[in-house]
C-alpha cells in the first residue's frame, strides 16, 4: 500500500508542482516523495522539496496548499508575516486549508 501511495503522490506532484509554480515562479531542484515523521512537506536550503508519500490521500485543495507552502519557503525560508502574505497571495483560502489540514492530521493519526 505504501508503494501505491508513493507512486500516486509522485505522479500527482509531477503535474501539480509545475502548474502551481507557473504563478510563483521559483526554481527548485529535486522533488522527493518519502515518509516524513510529522509533516506533509519540507524544503531545504539546497532548494529540494520533500513531500509525505500519503499527500495524495488529501483533498486536492489541501494538497495544493501544502505545495504552495513549500514553494513559498523557497522565497521566504521562515514563517514570518511576509511568508504568510505570500502564501495568501497564491492561496487566498489558506486559513481554511490549514484548519482542514488539522482535521486530516487527526484522522490520519499524523
Q: Where are the domains of the chain?
A: 2-107
The confidence score (pLDDT) of residue 110 equals 67
Beta bridge partners of residue 32, listed in sequence order: 50
The confidence score (pLDDT) of residue 38 equals 87
Beta bridge partners of residue 49, listed in sequence order: 31, 43
The confidence score (pLDDT) of residue 109 equals 67
Q: What is the pLDDT along the chain (110 residues), one digit of tens a residue?
A: 899 999 999 999 999 999 999 999 999 999 999 999 889 999 999 999 999 999 999 999 999 999 999 999 999 999 999 999 999 999 999 999 999 999 988 887 66
> Could you count the other beta carbons within 10 Å of the beta carbon of residue 85?
11
pTM: 0.95
Beta bridge partners of residue 42, listed in sequence order: 50
The Cα 93–Cα 69 span in angstroms is 12
> Could you count the other beta carbons within 10 Å of the beta carbon of residue 88?
14
What class, spelled out in words, does domain 2-107 have in CATH? alpha beta
Amino acid at each position: 500500500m505504501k508503494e501505491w501511495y508513493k507512486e500516486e503522490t509522485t505522479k500527482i506532484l509531477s503535474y501539480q508542482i509545475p502548474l502551481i509554480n507557473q504563478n510563483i515562479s521559483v526554481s527548485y531542484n529535486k522533488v522527493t516523495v518519502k515518509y516524513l515523521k510529522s509533516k506533509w512537506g519540507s524544503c531545504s536550503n539546497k532548494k529540494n522539496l520533500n513531500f509525505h508519500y500519503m499527500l495524495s490521500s488529501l483533498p486536492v485543495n489541501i494538497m495544493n496548499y501544502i505545495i504552495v507552502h513549500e514553494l513559498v519557503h523557497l522565497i521566504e525560508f521562515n514563517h514570518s508575516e511576509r511568508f504568510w502574505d505570500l502564501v495568501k497571495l497564491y492561496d487566498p483560502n489558506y486559513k481554511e486549508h490549514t484548519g482542514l489540514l488539522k482535521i486530516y492530521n487527526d484522522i490520519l493519526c499524523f
